[in-house]
């Protein structure tokens, strides 16, 4: 090797060392600043190679200051709002399926002599401008379009965006930092609103069960690895606590999922609560499903303590998970349908057979354009 080549190689090695050392120093400074923000909580329990790789990738994106990071799967990319909360941009502007599905279900309810109610849950961001410049997002326009169209069609409806905005509580106290779902305090407000509608329709409602004071709230710290943190890691999207609400009054239920061979009997905890999802932050156990474990095609729940209550049937996406378990306390029977998992089952015939007193649609903006999730077949 000539002296000139040695000189060039030495310069190259020197600059590579500068880059490596500088990057490590920046990463250490990023981690130091991340700790007060809660972005390092629970990292010691995410120990697989896959977990570590996702966290390293997300940390690198955060180090670069990127407000939008490619997720670890095709499912989504993760976007940071201006307050640091993680979300996903909705690039599908359509809400026609929601209008068709709700109008069809409303007509079915009238046919069988049942009441109908559509509940629109909001996306996480409060204002469109909270997204980074250049990011296309249709979640708010879809929400507004679906609500406006259904109101014009005369479909009974509760807009939970309006309810949350009028509650007097800070908007982001209702949402997780690392996940797209709302917290249980928001779901409880939805439950109260639904019960108000049911009472107006002449259905029996136990007012005591509508009081927050009738629930024990247990805080599980650092256990919620939300959808966005599962995609981009905790260093990018953060980590959340989870507040489990348990009724202080006596409860007795049976729960069946025929397609899965599941049969449970017992109180609220026995039938609805899955503590394994709250053990630690995990890519496999999702704290949001501390209630009901996961999504299935059809839950059939019987309230043994309330044979005179209304029979309610819910068609929903995952935003209704906590709402469902609260509502079960007011019902004699509660059927929960998720059309995303129903395959070729005839759900219209199923509803006619069940003869519910109330058909309830509960959906967030994400599935408003999805015919498979919204339209009964």
* CA–centroid distance for 61 within its chain: 24
In the chain, alpha helices (H): 3-37, 49-63, 96-112, 139-152, 160-165, 184-200, 227-232, 234-237, 268-272, 321-328, 347-354, 371-374
Residue position matching structure tokens 């007509």: 107
Q: Which 8-state DSSP code applies to residue 151?
A: H
* Beta pairing, strands 262-266 & 253-257: antiparallel
Question: What does the alpha-carbon distance between residue 285 and residue 294 come to, in Å, rounded to a whole number?
Answer: 10
| Residue 160 burial (C-beta neighbours within 10 Å; 0-12, 13-18, 19+) | buried
Identify the CA nearest to 61 among candidates 132, 110, 128. 132
Residue position matching structure tokens 């000139």: 4
Question: What does the alpha-carbon distance between residue 51 and residue 34 come to, in Å, rounded to a whole number?
Answer: 18
What are the two backbone dihedrals, phi and then psi, of residue 109, each rounded to the nearest 5 degrees?
Answer: -60, -45
Q: How many CA atoms lie within 13 A of 351 on its CB side?
A: 30
Question: What does the alpha-carbon distance between residue 308 and residue 41 come to, in Å, rounded to a whole number?
Answer: 47
Question: What does the alpha-carbon distance between residue 178 and residue 228 come to, in Å, rounded to a whole number?
Answer: 5
Give the H or E element holding residue 300. Answer: strand 298-303
* pLDDT attached to residue 34: 46
Would you state the structure tokens that stand for residue 121, as one six-digit string?
A: 């849950």
| Residue 46 burial (C-beta neighbours within 10 Å; 0-12, 13-18, 19+) | buried
pLDDT tens by residue, the chain, 377 residues: 676 666 666 666 765 665 555 455 444 444 444 444 444 454 445 556 667 777 777 777 777 777 877 655 444 578 899 999 999 889 899 999 999 999 999 999 999 999 999 999 999 999 988 998 888 899 999 999 999 999 999 999 999 999 999 999 999 999 999 999 999 999 999 999 999 999 999 999 999 999 999 999 999 999 999 988 888 888 888 899 999 999 999 999 999 999 999 999 999 999 999 999 999 888 778 999 999 999 999 999 999 999 999 999 999 999 999 999 999 999 999 999 999 999 999 999 999 999 999 999 999 999 999 999 999 99
């Amino acid at each position: 090797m000539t002296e000139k080549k040695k000189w060039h190689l030495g310069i190259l090695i020197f600059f590579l060392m500068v880059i490596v050392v500088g990057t490590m120093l920046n990463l250490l400074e990023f981690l130091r600043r991340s700790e007060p923000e809660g972005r390092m909580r629970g990292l010691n329990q995410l120990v697989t190679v896959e977990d570590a790789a996702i966290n390293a990738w997300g940390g690198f994106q955060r180090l670069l200051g990127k407000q939008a990071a490619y997720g670890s799967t095709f499912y989504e990319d993760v976007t940071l709002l201006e307050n640091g909360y993680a979300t996903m941009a909705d690039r599908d502007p359509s809400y026609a399926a929601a209008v068709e599905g709700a109008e069809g279900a409303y007509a079915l309810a009238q046919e069988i002599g049942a009441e109908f109610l559509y509940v629109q849950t909001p996306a996480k961001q409060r204002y469109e401008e909270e997204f980074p410049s250049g990011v296309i997002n249709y979640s708010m326009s879809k929400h507004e379009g679906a609500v406006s169209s259904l109101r014009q069609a005369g479909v009974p409806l509760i807009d939970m965006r309006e309810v949350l905005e009028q509650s007097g509580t800070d908007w982001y106290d209702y949402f997780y930092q690392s996940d797209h779902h709302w917290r249980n305090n928001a779901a409880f407000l939805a439950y109260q609103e639904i019960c108000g509608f049911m009472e107006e329709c002449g259905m029996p409602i136990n007012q005591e069960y509508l009081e927050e004071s009738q629930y024990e709230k247990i805080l599980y710290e650092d256990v919620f690895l939300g959808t966005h943190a599962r995609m981009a890691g905790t260093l990018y999207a953060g980590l959340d606590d989870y507040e489990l609400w348990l009724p202080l009054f006596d409860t007795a239920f049976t729960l069946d999922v025929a397609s899965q061979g599941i049969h449970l009997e017992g109180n609220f905890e026995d039938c609805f609560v899955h503590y394994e999802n709250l053990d630690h932050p995990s890519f496999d156990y999702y704290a949001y499903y501390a209630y009901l474990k996961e999504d299935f095609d059809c839950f059939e729940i019987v309230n043994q303590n309330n044979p005179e209550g209304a029979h309610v049937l819910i068609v929903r996406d995952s935003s209704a998970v906590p709402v469902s378990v609260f509502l079960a306390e007011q019902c004699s029977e509660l059927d929960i349908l998720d059309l995303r998992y129903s395959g070729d089952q005839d759900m219209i015939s199923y509803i006619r057979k069940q003869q519910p007193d109330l058909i309830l649609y509960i959906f967030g903006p994400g599935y408003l354009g999805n015919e498979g999730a919204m339209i009964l077949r």
